[in-house]
């Protein structure tokens, strides 16, 4: 799939926001830790991706009702939904000057379109040494889900099933989807979340 940048200015993908608080001391500390053993940009990006994928847990996988949406809080609690994990990965990478954006997929709850859909969040990262954007899905692996780091062929968490009404959106957004952020902020716990089924 041909990815589409929301902005041609790479500095836009380094912006700090309330949610992507990449100058927070804990984010900086983790970025420094992950980059210390990396020999180059690609190794650092892979280390950051694998840390968020494997060491920060998907709330649904661990049966947690905690709702996180701010990178420093996600890092502190080491859990969040896919959107939260993409925010944390984006913050860690932006801390080291690596452009990182936000991508989305529309996924079906079941095996037919009438089962309903939900928005799924992941990242796109610009590798300057390779002059290319790659997408990474740090959702977290489990039985049936095997997302991996790759600079050649994408290996995301969910293959798109068009017959189920699923959509892979090509846009690389500068900011996390604000409708999603509002929903996460307003939810007292995970049971109150009513996630959107589409980009709005």
What is the per-residue pLDDT across 77-93, written as a single tens digit (0 to 9) for each? 999 999 999 999 999 99
Q: Which of 114, 105, 98, 104 is nearest to 47 (CA)?
A: 98
Q: Read off the pLDDT of each residue in 175-183 and give the average, rounded to a whole number.
A: 93
Q: Which of 82, 94, 114, 122 is nearest to 21 (CA)?
A: 94
3-state secondary structure of 43: helix
Q: Is the pLDDT of residue 193 over 80?
A: no
The pLDDT score that the predictor gives to residue 197 is: 83
Long-range contacts of 142-149 (CB under 8 A, 24+ apart): 142/61, 147/53, 149/45, 149/46, 149/49, 149/50
The pLDDT score that the predictor gives to residue 127 is: 98
What is the DSSP code (8-state) at residue 80? E
Q: Is the pLDDT of residue 94 over 80?
A: yes
Measure the CA–CA gap between 12 and 64, rounded to whole angstroms: 33
Contact assessment for residue 121 and residue 177, using Cβ atoms and an 8 Å cutoff:
yes
The pLDDT score that the predictor gives to residue 44 is: 98
Domains and CATH numbers, the chain: 4-191 (3.10.620.30)
pTM: predicted TM-score of the whole model, two decimal places: 0.96
Measure the CA–CA gap between 49 and 85, rounded to whole angstroms: 10
Measure the CA–CA gap between 183 and 107, rounded to whole angstroms: 18
CA angle 82/83/84 to nearest 5° reads 90
Contact assessment for residue 19 and residue 70, using Cβ atoms and an 8 Å cutoff:
yes
């Amino acid at each position: 799939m041909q990815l589409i940048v929301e902005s041609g200015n790479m500095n836009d993908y380094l912006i700090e926001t309330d949610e992507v608080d990449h100058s927070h001391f804990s984010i900086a500390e983790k970025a420094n830790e992950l980059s210390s053993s990396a020999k180059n940009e690609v190794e650092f990006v892979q280390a950051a991706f694998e840390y968020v994928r494997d060491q920060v847990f998907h709330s649904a996988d661990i049966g947690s009702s905690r709702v996180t949406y701010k990178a420093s809080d996600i890092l502190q609690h080491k859990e969040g939904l896919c959107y939260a994990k993409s925010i944390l990965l984006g913050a860690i990478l932006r801390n080291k000057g690596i452009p990182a954006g936000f991508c989305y997929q529309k996924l079906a709850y079941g095996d037919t379109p009438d089962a309903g859909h939900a928005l799924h969040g992941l990242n796109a990262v610009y590798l300057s040494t390779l002059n290319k954007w790659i997408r990474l899905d740090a959702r977290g692996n489990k039985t049936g889900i095997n997302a991996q780091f790759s600079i050649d062929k994408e290996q995301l968490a969910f293959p798109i099933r068009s017959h189920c009404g699923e959509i892979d959106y090509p846009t690389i957004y500068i900011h996390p989807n604000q409708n999603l952020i509002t929903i996460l902020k307003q939810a007292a716990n995970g049971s109150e979340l009513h996630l959107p089924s589409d980009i709005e």
